[in-house]
Amino acid sequence: MPDAPSLPDPVRRIMAGGVTVTMADGVRDRALDSAGRTAVVDGERTLTFAAVHARSNRLAQALLGAGLVPGDPVAVLLGNRLEYPEVAAALAKAGLPMVPLGIRQTGPEVAWIVGHSGARALIVQGARAEEVLDALSASTDRIALVLTVGAPGPGRAYEEALATAPDRDPLVRVGGEDVFCIQYTSGTTGRPKGALLTHRGRALTALLSAHEWGLGAGRTSLAVAPMSHGAGFMFGFAPVLTGGTVVMLPRWDPARMLSLAEEHRVQSVFLVPTHAQTLRALGEDAPARHRLDALDTLYFNAAALPVQLKEWVLDAFPLCGVHELYGSTEGGVVTDLRPVDARRKAGSVGRAWYLTEVRVVDDEGRAVAPGEPGELFSNSPFLMAGYLDDPEATAACTAPDGALSVGDVATVDDEGYVTIVDRKKDLIVSGGLNVYPREVEEALLHHPAVAECAVAGTADQVWGERVTAFVVWAPGAVPAAVEDLADFLRPRLAGYKLPRRLEAVDRLPRNSAGKVLKRELRDGAAPLRPQQDPSTA
């Protein structure tokens, strides 16, 4: 059983105690030791480490000069662009918690988060500014400053604010346990909750991410996932903290991603399974048509990587070490399946990550036997400090010893490798028997007509819940009937796990992190008629 790589020295010193670490430290350090090197690339625009430091100083001064005080949240609605790292650095320097907003979130969604977080300033991409401010009309009296980035819009122009502010580090006293970010959960099961993420937890994650996935000095990575999302931000900002170069991909475009990787000799890329699906859709040999010999590290997160898709990734990128990690907004990185085990343990998300303890327990909190499903808890320095103004939700996901669960069901084998079975809230109880959707989904993906699928429980008067398959058919494939799918799956699954209902969809609804929104699928499913009686038991 392979051992995990050892901890880097800076992390050892931090964990030994007496060292305060914040999300601004790396920016200050790189301005001294790597001033003229390129930190950020966005099309034709670039920033050196010295420029990130200077511009973030100016932004911090502009925000504090507008009347904000340390502890005041600042909402940030930007796509992946050159300004994102300097905004994050400025807020860290000024002690202003960042509230990331997704560029595709609607006006009402933005308004709810801005209101709930108590944000006192808004940094917004100009094209969205007018719409967002209209949605915020009820709470604009609390907003002290609106800065618009890029295209003109209401509020003050971002570049004008920087030009008139002094290039002077505010040197606000910020502690490691102070809140760096209020990261709202994706809201797959209801209203999003604001996870309070600390400077210490985020900075440790950045240092270890750079160490694990090659994001530090002398390395070039690609910011693909939205930086408004926890993982997308971390893996896009860690290079700036640790001396690497990050190239921005403004929006997901698989062909553009491959071109940028070739052009900039990119070495590390973070992807989610949806990205791999669309890369494969370009053609099985699409990666081979590009010069990607510099690319040596791919790492996946956000949702389980189907085994078949992972096999394609391994074959299509033969020069790459492929990692599959598991984590959450609330818990940070929890496990990592390293390249040495990529094929041997396909389907697993690996063993506990650095500084992390993992346990899988039953409903009474007792450890389950190897291979038995239970709820996954983790304990580490990366855990959130709780949900903003929601002590009940915080208590509901926290064990007495401080370990945290986001409701995922997992198994752990006798070597300590974790496999995510499903989300506890997605568990289907049909006829009194438990059905884990992921197991059914993995089996469905073997059917030649199925391109993508999601399985969820829909209400049923007889069985309580009916196993329902939502399927995206492969281009040119002949759609199958639910009876055909059941026949195909019968050798692979017990009868009570077979889909009893089939819904064909053009696409699976996903959030910005690539997770399927099963609530939307369930809500959008056509009502069952009384004569639609189960027939595939």
pLDDT for the residue numbered 306: 83
DSSP conformation letters of 339-386: GGGTTTTTT--BEE-TT-EEEEE-TTSPBPPTT--EEEEEESTTS-S-
d(CA 206, CA 233): 10
CATH code, 427-524: 3.30.300.30
d(CA 83, CA 448): 44
3-state SS, residue 510 = strand
Mean pLDDT, each 10-residue run in order, the chain (537 residues): 68 72 96 98 98 98 98 97 98 98 88 94 94 82 93 92 98 96 74 93 97 96 95 97 97 96 98 90 94 97 83 96 95 97 94 97 93 95 96 94 93 95 80 80 92 89 84 93 92 88 91 79 67 34
| pTM, full prediction | 0.84
Domain with CATH 3.30.300.30 in the chain: 427-524
pLDDT for the residue numbered 529: 46
d(CA 193, CA 513): 15
How does DSSP classify residue 401?
Answer: T
Closest to 402 in 3D by CA, of 356, 449, 439, 353: 356
Neighbouring residues of 164: CB distance < 8 A, sequence distance ≥ 6: 62
Neighbouring residues of 159: CB distance < 8 A, sequence distance ≥ 6: none
Question: How many Cβ atoms are within 10 Å of 150's Cβ, its own excluded?
Answer: 19
Domain with CATH 3.40.50.980 in the chain: 10-38+47-203
pLDDT for the residue numbered 171: 96
pLDDT for the residue numbered 186: 63
pLDDT for the residue numbered 519: 80
pLDDT for the residue numbered 2: 52
pLDDT for the residue numbered 534: 31
pLDDT for the residue numbered 138: 67
CATH code, 10-38+47-203: 3.40.50.980
Would residue 347 be called left, alpha or beta, if left means φ above 0 and alpha means ψ between -120 and 50 degrees?
left
As given in the structure block, the two tokens for residue 99 are 């509230």
**Dihedral sign of CA atoms 34, 81, 179, 221 in order:** negative
What's the number of CA atoms in the CB half-sphere (13 Å) around residue 424? Answer: 17
pLDDT for the residue numbered 442: 87
pLDDT for the residue numbered 528: 53
